[in-house]
Amino acid sequence: MKFPKVQSLQEIANLLQCEFIGDKDFPVLGMNEIHVVEPGDIVFVDHPKYYDKALQSAATIVLINKKVDCPEGKALLVSDDPFRDFNTLTKHFKPFQFANVAVSASATIGEGTVIQPNSFIGNHVKIGKNCLIHSNVSIYDHTVIGDNVIIHAGTILGADAFYYKKRPDGFDQLISGGRVVIEDNVGIGALCTIDKGVTGDTTIGEGTKIDNQVHVGHDSVIGKKCLIASQTGIAGCVIIEDEVTIWGQVGTTSGITIGAKAVIMGQTGVTKSVEGGKSYFGTPIEESREKLKQLANIKKIPEILNKLK
């Protein structure tokens, strides 16, 4: 997430009421999670296990809960609670905007696009040409939709990320300030939920088709011309490359990559990254031919036991 204008390190420290290490005029361009940071971004870290990863990342400003040596060319914001202060920045630079109409006046809707009754189009949404948005679809603020997109009834684009920090008195939510981006010629079935990124984009690539009742978690990127069948659950920060086929009731863990043209068979649990161009099945996931051989061998166990007796 980029800020509307360049901020100084001093300005950000004043906003957070925290100490800083570095030039007070050090430029701050935005804020992002570790997997999408760029120079000029703030990244936060609040556990020693991840200090090095954050300090050596592409981010040039690190919001951290301990004074440490600052890498050359970077700056630090020293906070007693980086998680809280990351939320403070999101609320400041991308505050929630109240809506009181079904289609926001700030939304941009392309020629030939049809929006059926009872749908909600939020603030600063962009919808391209010749789209069909069926009834009872909710499109949250800042969502971007390309041309020739079909979205069926009851689907929600842009709900918050499922991202919490456990506290002694409960859970604090990491506030989502990212977007959902739907590229051209995408089809999305009924009752799907696609969460926005925490600071970046959740993206559905051109020509991808998604069945009913599919969930896509925050910051995940789905490539071009993928097929995703019903009741699939894709966790946050997953990369699905082009032309992947995912059959029904598949679930994934977060932070993995599914290679191009892979086929994930029904009811598979994708517990790790997998190469493209192969077929997979089972939990934990394995190449489908190997998994099916294992299942066939398991069926022989009673016969083997009888022989041993």
Q: What distance in Å separates the CA atoms of residue 286 and residue 222, rounded to the nearest whole number?
A: 21
Q: What distance in Å separates the CA atoms of residue 7 and residue 12, rounded to the nearest whole number?
A: 7
Q: Which of 134, 142, 215, 218 is labelled catalytic?
A: 218
| Nearest residue to 179 (alpha-carbon basis) of 224, 129, 125, 251 | 125
Secondary structure (3-state) at 9: helix
Secondary structure (3-state) at 25: coil
Q: Is 77 exposed, middle or buried (0-12, 13-18, 19+ CB in 10 A)?
A: buried
Where helices occur in 56-124 by DSSP H, the ranges are 82-93
Q: What distance in Å separates the CA atoms of residue 149 and residue 112, rounded to the nearest whole number?
A: 11
215 included as an active-site residue? no
Which H or E element spans position 306? helix 301-308
DSSP single-letter state for residue 95? -
146 φ/ψ angles, rounded to the nearest 5 degrees: -80, -160
Q: Tell me the helices (H) and strands (E) count for the chain, helix number first.
A: 5, 34
Q: What distance in Å separates the CA atoms of residue 228 and residue 240, rounded to the nearest whole number?
A: 11
Active-site residues: which are they? 218
